[in-house]
């Protein structure tokens, strides 16, 4: 109770400072770089035309020494609910404007990394934060340019940028969950080219993952060992032609204990992400970008169980390096045309080839090919000096289905202190491989006759600036048709089959955020989100989507001093989940507070020490709930996935 009281008192203090988002630390305009690729600046372009864009800057990432991308998104993105199941480098439940996890598309430098085998697994478990320059979160339906799984928004992880000067940074550190970290980044010119190279290693024994264990479970901590390296090479072939190469490799060993039986359970991952892009400025009227990408994700799963009531019995091997994985490659062409005054045009073509299989939860080997055509028209300053309007269509075709979507959006600066913006359109989600082709006798079988889910999205926002205060209030709504669910009442399918539901799902809500620059050195921020997501005729919120959440904090960053500090707060309201034998369980209503500080220990500011006390008041909270059989019994027990306990993270960084 003492920790909860302290956390709530600090939350009240933060609220007294003001409410807001982190946007003040990362103005979108500062991100636009002359000569940048069309796909690289697309999120910022969409924000100018009415899309709601949140950015977590490099400064926020370094000042808080987040271990992975999920931690940063969890604490820093207004309106986004992200709940890592077992701390860093684990799957996460995600809700953006009332969405499910699979309604959000993930990108790394514009390359899609979602797992199309399943829509319920997020790809955040192999993304270390040390390689990241910024994280962009586009809210609302974004299928126009990004296609399937962007029905509620897009998370784009942008890696370290180029530099004109040779330099870099080396970082070492660790945390009190028996974790260590090291990373190195070097960048600069290389003859006619520029390069960036990075490498990182994160390893931890982990913490106790569940609140209850059966005696048969002897693996009780969730550890990880993640090694990642990669780089970029940019080459200017002529004044009008540029080539960009990108590659990243990740090896990961991720533990997956359970509250009963488990002696050993892990995934070994091998992931490759690569792209080649060619950007041509033919004239002031024509720009063209061609990008080929490749994403290969291979994993082997191993499970060794104990025998309940017989600790001396030989272990039972359930899975022995059993394979699951996928391959995703394709090409994207984007053209920007300024053919006459007042309007510009975006034309695009996407080709995606996805294939994968799972030998753990059986899915037949399948290949999916997607072709898409995109067209958008935008107004320019020549037509409206204080307003930007856009309208576009996308036609998407696969072997199984075809879908056309549309989008209209706009941003209007009513006065220098007040703006209005909004977006409306349709989005879609193609069925996953599991939903189409699942063949495991344990579970619902696939249905190749499934139709894509289609949603109608709408966002309207008003915001502005008054002196040192910036603010925004957003209302959003989404209606989903042909929702895909696993159904267990169909004749002939006692173990279930995936179907499109006949009713509609509606999600609506309200977000607010503000930031106040109290002094030149002190800033306070906060945000809240209210969400209601329900099926037609249902009287309750969807599972694992909070009805209300809030975030806030203060940042002290004096420009003339070699130190800084911050506090970040996350409050999550009620979150429910249906659990076998226990009904509908509420595991929400918790407060998590992080405290961070850094200091430069030399006059040139090359040597830096940083610390973050994660979950400073040691809040005992759950990230998910479930039930399992009691050892040697037919009865079940309820258990909670535990959030990260109070953890001290420290690091030393040397810039050169």
* CATH code, domain with 621: 2.40.170.20
Sign of torsion over alpha carbons 158, 159, 164, 168: positive
Alpha-carbon span 31 to 50, nearest angstrom: 17
Distance CA 125, CA 223 (A): 12
Q: Residue 451: is its pLDDT beyond 80?
A: yes
Percentage with pLDDT > 70 across the chain? 94
For residue range 556-567, list pLDDT tens digits in order. 999 999 999 999
pTM equals 0.93
Between 7-21, 112-126, 169-183, 368-382, the lowest mean confidence (pLDDT) is in: 7-21
pLDDT at 514 (0 to 100): 98
Terminal Cα distance for the chain, rounded: 46
Q: Is residue 139 pLDDT above 60, yes or no?
A: yes
* Residue 33: predicted pLDDT: 39
Per-residue confidence at 124, pLDDT binned at 50, 70, 90? confident
The answer, yes or no, to whether residue 44 has pLDDT greater than 50, is: yes
Strand partners, 215: none
pLDDT digit string, tens, across residues 237-286: 999 999 999 999 999 999 999 999 999 999 999 999 999 999 999 999 99
Cβ density class 150-179: b for 16+ within 10 Å, e for less: bbbbbbbbbbbbbeeeeebbebebbbebeb
Question: Half-sphere exposure of 319 toward its Cβ, with a 13 Å CA cutoff?
Answer: 21
**Rounded mean pLDDT of the chain?**
92
- What range defines the domain where residue 562 resides? 2-655
Q: What is the pLDDT of residues 372-426, one digit of tens each?
A: 999 999 999 999 999 999 999 999 998 878 889 999 999 999 999 999 999 999 9
Indicate the number of domains in the chain.
1
Provide the token pair at 426: 């349709």
Contact 340, 383 (CB under 8 A): no
Q: Grade residue 24 by pLDDT with cuts at 50, 70 and 90.
A: very low
**pLDDT band (50, 70, 90) for residue 141:** very high
**What is the 8-class DSSP label of residue 16?**
H
Mean pLDDT of 213-240: 96
Contacts of 544 (CB under 8 A, 6+ apart): 83, 93, 95, 100, 101, 575, 576, 577, 624
Residues in the chain: 656
Note the pLDDT tens digit of each residue in 593-638: 999 999 999 999 999 999 999 999 999 999 999 999 999 999 999 9
CB distance 482 to 156 below 8 Å:
no
Q: Cα 475 to chain center, whole Å?
A: 21
User: What tens digit of pLDDT does each residue of 488-511 get?
Assistant: 888 888 889 999 998 899 999 999
């Amino acid at each position: 109770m003492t920790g909860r009281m302290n956390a709530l008192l600090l939350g009240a203090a933060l609220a007294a400072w003001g409410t807001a988002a982190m946007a003040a630390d990362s103005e979108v305009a500062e991100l636009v770089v002359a000569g940048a690729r069309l796909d690289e600046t697309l999120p910022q372009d969409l924000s100018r035309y009415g899309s709601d864009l949140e950015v977590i800057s490099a400064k926020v990432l370094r000042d808080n020494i987040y271990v992975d991308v999920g931690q940063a998104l969890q604490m820093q993105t207004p309106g986004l609910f992200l709940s890592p199941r077992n701390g860093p480098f684990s799957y996460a439940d995600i809700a953006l404007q009332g969405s499910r996890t699979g309604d959000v598309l993930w990108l790394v430098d514009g390359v899609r990394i979602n797992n199309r085998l399943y829509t319920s697994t997020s790809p955040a478990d192999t993304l270390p934060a040390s390689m990241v320059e910024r994280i962009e979160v586009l809210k609302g339906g974004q299928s126009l340019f990004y296609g399937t799984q962007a029905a509620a928004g897009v998370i784009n992880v942008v890696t370290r940028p180029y530099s004109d000067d040779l330099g870099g940074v080396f970082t070492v550190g660790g945390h009190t969950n028996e974790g260590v970290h090291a990373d190195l980044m070097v960048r600069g010119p290389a003859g006619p080219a520029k390069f960036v190279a990075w490498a990182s290693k994160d390893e931890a024994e982990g913490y106790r993952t569940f609140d209850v264990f059966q005696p048969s479970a002897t693996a009780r901590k969730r550890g990880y060992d993640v090694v990642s390296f990669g780089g970029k090479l940019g080459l200017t072939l002529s004044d009008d032609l540029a080539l960009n190469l990108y590659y990243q490799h990740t090896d990961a060993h991720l533990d997956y204990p359970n509250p009963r039986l488990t002696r050993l359970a892990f995934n070994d991952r091998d992931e490759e992400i690569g792209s080649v892009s060619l950007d041509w400025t033919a004239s002031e009227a024509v720009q063209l970008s061609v990008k080929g990408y490749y994403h290969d994700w291979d994993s082997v799963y191993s499970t060794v169980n104990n025998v309940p009531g017989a600790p001396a019995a030989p272990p039972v091997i359930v899975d022995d390096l059993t394979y699951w994985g996928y391959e995703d490659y394709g090409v994207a062409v984007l053209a920007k045309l300024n053919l006459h005054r007042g309007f510009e045009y975006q034309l695009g073509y996407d080709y995606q080839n996805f294939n994968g299989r799972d030998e753990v939860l059986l899915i037949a080997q399948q290949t999916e090919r997607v072709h898409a055509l995109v067209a958008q028209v935008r107004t320019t300053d020549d037509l409206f000096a204080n307003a930007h309007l856009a309208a576009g269509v996308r036609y998407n075709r696969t072997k199984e289905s075809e879908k056309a979507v549309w989008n209209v959006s706009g941003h209007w600066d009513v006065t220098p202190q007040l703006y209005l913006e909004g977006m409306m359109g349709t989005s879609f989600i193609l069925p996953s491989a599991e939903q189409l082709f699942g063949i495991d006798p344990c579970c619902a079988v696939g249905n190749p006759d499934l139709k894509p889910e289609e949603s109608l999205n709408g966002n309207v926002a008003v915001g502005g600036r008054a002196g040192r205060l910036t603010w925004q209030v957003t209302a959003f709504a989404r209606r989903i048709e042909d929702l895909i669910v696993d159904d267990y009442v169909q004749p002939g399918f006692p173990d279930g089959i995936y179907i499109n539901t006949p009713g509609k799902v509606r999600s609506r809500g309200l977000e607010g955020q503000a930031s106040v620059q109290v002094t030149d050195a002190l800033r306070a921020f906060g945000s809240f989100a209210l969400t209601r997501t329900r099926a037609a005729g249902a009287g309750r919120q969807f599972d694992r989507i909070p009805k209300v959440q809030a975030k806030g904090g203060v940042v002290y960053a004096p420009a003339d001093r070699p130190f800084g500090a911050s506090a970040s707060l996350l409050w999550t309201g009620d979150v429910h989940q249906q659990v076998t034998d226990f009904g509908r369980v509420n595991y929400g209503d918790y407060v998590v507070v992080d405290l961070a500080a850094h200091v430069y220990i030399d006059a040139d500011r090359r040597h830096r020490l940083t610390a973050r006390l994660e979950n400073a008041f040691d809040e005992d909270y759950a990230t998910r709930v479930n039930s399992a059989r009691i050892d040697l019994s037919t009865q079940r027990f309820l258990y909670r996935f535990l959030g990260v306990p109070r953890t001290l993270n420290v690091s030393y960084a040397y810039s050169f």
